[in-house]
Structure 1
Amino acid sequence: MLKSLFNWKVLLNLVLAAGVFVGLVYLTFRWLEYHTNHGQEVPVPNVINKSVHDAVKILEDAGLDYEVDSAAYNPKYRPLQVLKVYPSPGSRVKDGRAIQLMVNPKSWAPVAIPDVINKYSGLAFQRLEQVGLKVSDTIYEPSIQKDAVLRILFKGNPIKPGTKIPRFSLVDVVVGSGPLRNISVPNVVGLTVKEAKMVIARNLFELGSVNHEDGGNDDSDIVYYQDPASGDIRDQGMQIDLWASKKTPAELRNKINELNSIYRMKIDTTLPPIRYEEVPYVDEPVITEPAPAPVVPQRKEVPKQDPAKSGTSATKAPTDKPKASATPASQPQDKPKAKKVIN
């Protein structure tokens, strides 16, 4: 067994195998050095504060690749200005290495318009400011939705909620100022339903029920009756009901008379007009109550002291009884005497 291992043929095979292995390892490392450009390094150029276009050209001339990333917009720097470079300038990297550039964007990041349509204007303004938008002008427009946001304008054009615009952009807000009063109802009889809808909306009214004679829903039907009637005075936002048919109003005279008996007020012209006479106005006498007499406070009488009794106290009550009156009591009168008669 040991003798067979030391056979020259076996030893020759072992030497050949070791040589092949060493050769493969050497060729592998040489290929890696060539493929990775081992030993060939270039310094990263300083492109900070340059525009991204100039930075890209400098990197390409140096044999380096690049990756551009944008940070949050900073108004202190120019748009598309290079703020940072990684690896840092002066570092030695291999030829073809990708250099990361941090660039200031052109403007603020876009924000979506919040859905504040038909919302109270005070809350809508707060919502717009929270997302980073500024209200430039408030436009008031007649509407039954008083103090509600009707539209949002960006550069003079209506913009839908969810549309993205640059942050800190100026927008105009259209707010309802309340309904108009005493508006004349337009005449839509003879128009198609489609045309009547546009006329009603243009005159600041709302479309009510549409009654089609055949029970369909064709906007090409002709309006032969409306309520309220044309020329009536109503407020903005009131509903106008329509009756439509394929026929013309002249062909539906009986139907129109029937509707008039229901929706139109009848006025009896046979009654004499009411006459109003003016009654002269007489001022009623005004009775004034006499003013109450002023109350005079009564003075309390203080008993006088007897000067003969100066030695006695002034506070001692008198003990003498009151003296009888000196005037004698009245005596009864004597009866008259009878006269003597002399014969």
Structure 2
Amino acid sequence: MLKSLFNWKVLVNLLVAIAVFVGLVWLTFRWLEYHTNHGQEIPVPNIVNKSVHDAVKILEDTGLDYEVDSATYNPKYRPFQVLQVYPAPGSRVKDGRAITLKVNPRSWAPVAVPDVINKYSGLAFQRLDQVGLKVGDTIFEPSIQKDAVLRVLFKGNSLKPGTKIPRFSVVDVVVGSGPLRNISIPNVVGLTVKEARAYIARNLFEVGIVEHEDGGKDDSDIVYYQDPAAGDARDQGMQIDLWASKKTPAELRDRIEQLNSTYRMKIDTTLPPIRYEEVPNFQDEPVTVPPPPVTPKPASPKPSATSTSKPVSSVRATDTKPRTATDNAAKQTATQVTDKPKTKKVTIQ
């Protein structure tokens, strides 16, 4: 057994097998070294702060691959500026290695417009601010939905909920200011139902009940009657009921008269208008008559020493006219004059 193991032929075969194995291993590593460019490394160029177009061109000329990743938008840097490189500049990598570039995007990431239509304006403004949108102008428009958001505008265009726009964009909000008062009702008699609906909406009213003569729902039927009547004053948002038919209004005079007797109030203008006059009431307060003016009596000349005063009785005897307020005043004056002491006759020697 041992003699056969140490036979020279066996030893030769064993040495040949070992040599073949070592040769295969050496060839395998040489092939891998050649295939993977072992020992051939390329330094990563410094492309930070360059534009992404210039950075990509430099990497291609160097023999390196690249991957672009958009970072969060930073307004301090230029759009499409390279902010970060991985591996870091100066690192040695193999030919064909992919270099990751962090690039500043052109603008903020887009956000979806929230559904704030028909919502209270205060809550709508908060919701827009939460998603990163700024409210610019607040436009007030007549509407029955007072203080509610009617539309959201971006660069003059109306936005639907869910539309994506750049974050921190400025949007305008249209808010209802309340209904207009005493608007004239439009005349839609003679129009089709479809035309009447559009015309009523343009005049800030709403369509109420639409009664078709044949019981159908054909919008091509002609409107032959409306309530309220054309020209009446109503507030914005009021409903206008319509009656439509395949026939023209001229062919439905009897039906129109019947509707007039139901929906139109007749006012009799043949009776004369009633006039009301206010009569003052003097029973509640006493009436105060001002006293008549007293005419001052001219001063009589002083009697001389030789003259005597006339008796008052002669004046009263001639007074035969009925006494008036003026006469009473004159009587009081005469009484005062009569009550004065009589002048005594003085003889001077």
Same fold, TM exceeding 0.5?
Answer: yes
Matched AA of 2:273: I
Q: Residue 244 in 1 paired to residue 244 in 2?
A: yes
1:238-276 C-alpha deviation (Å, 9 max, x unpaired)? 001111111111222222222222222233455x23321
Aligned to 2:233: 233
* 1:19 CA drift (Å): 4.0
Query: In structure 1, how many angstroms separate the alpha carbons of the residues matched to 2:54 and 2:140?
Result: 50
Partners of 1:206 and 1:103 in 2: CA distance? 54
1:274 corresponds to: 273
Aligned partner letter, 2:79: P
1:280-337 deviation line (CA, Å, top 9, x unaligned): 44686399xxxxxxxxxxxxxxxxxxxxxxxxxxxxxxxxxxxxxxxxxxxxxxxxxx
Question: How far does residue 15 in structure 1 lie from its aligned partner after superposition?
Answer: 4.7
**Please, what is the CA RMSD of the aligned residues?**
2.1
1:107-256 aligned within 5 A: 107-256=107-256
1:9-63 Cα distance to aligned partner (Å, 9 max, x none) = 6666555544443333222212211221101001111111111111111111111
Aligned-residue offset at 1:2? 6.1
Match of 2:27 in 1: 27
Cα distance in 2 between the residues matched to 1:100 and 1:251:
81
Inter-partner Cα distance in structure 1 for 2:190 and 2:202: 17
CA distance in structure 2 between the aligned counterparts of 1:81 and 1:146, rounded to whole angstroms: 47
Q: Which amino acid aligns with 1:130?
A: Q
1:25-64 paired onto structure 2 within 5 Å = 25-64=25-64
Spell out, residue by residue over 1:151-192, the C-alpha distance to the aligned partner (whole angstroms, 9 max, x if none): 011001111111111111111111101000001110101101
Q: Distance in 1 between matches of 2:12 and 2:210?
A: 108
SS in 2 for 1:93: strand
Find the aligned partners of 1:193 and 1:54 in 2 and give their Cα distance.
64
| Closer, same or farther: CA 27–214 of 1 in aligned 2, 3 Å | farther
What is the match of residue 73 of structure 2? Answer: 73
Q: Which amino acid aligns with 1:52?
A: V
Distance in structure 2 (CA, Å) of the matches to 1:21 and 1:221: 99
Q: TM-score, normalised by structure 1?
A: 0.78
Distance 2:9 2:251 in 1: 123
Q: Could you tell me how far 1:115 is from its partner in structure 2?
A: 0.7
1:280-299 alignment to 2 at 5 Å? 280-281=279-280, 285=285
Matched residue type, 1:278: E
Equivalenced residue count is 286
SS in 1 for 2:139: strand
Q: Which residue of 2 aligns with 1:100?
A: 100
Deviates more, 1:212-221 or 1:188-197: 212-221
> Greater CA deviation, 189-198 or 13-22?
13-22
Secondary structure class of the residue paired with 1:45: coil
1:30 match: secondary structure: helix
Pair 260,5 (structure 1): closer, same or farther in 2 beyond 3 Å? farther
Corresponding position of 1:340: none
Q: 1:4, 1:194 → 2: CA distance?
A: 113
Distance 1:37 1:141 in 2: 72
In 1: Cα distance, 2:221 partner to 2:261 partner: 23
Distance 2:285 2:273 in 1: 33
Tell me if 1:258 matches 2:258. yes
Residue 195 of structure 2: SS of its match in structure 1? helix
Q: Does 1:88 align with 2:62?
A: no
- For residue 71 of structure 1, report the CA deviation from its aligned partner: 1.2
CA shift in 2, pair 1:13/1:233, >3 Å:
same
SS in 2 for 1:244: strand
How big is the shift at 1:228?
0.9
Secondary structure of 2:74's aligned partner: coil
Aligned residues with identical type, % of pairs: 81
1:286 and 1:123 map into 2 onto residues whose CA distance is: 66
Deviation string, structure 1 residues 75-121 (Cα, Å, up to 9, x no partner): 11111111111111111111111111111111111111111111111
**Cα distance, 1:114–1:286 mapped onto 2, change above 3 Å:** farther
Taking a change above 3 Å as real, the CA distance of residues 35 and 282 of structure 1, as seen in their structure-2 partners, is: farther
CA distance in 1 between counterparts of 2:201 and 2:102 reads 54
CA distance in 2, matches of 1:10, 1:245: 117
SS in 2 for 1:260: helix
Q: TM-score, normalised by structure 2?
A: 0.76
Q: Hey, what's the Cα distance between the residues in 2 that align with 1:12 and 1:209?
A: 112
User: Which stretches in structure 2 are left out of the alignment for 5+ residues?
Assistant: 288-349
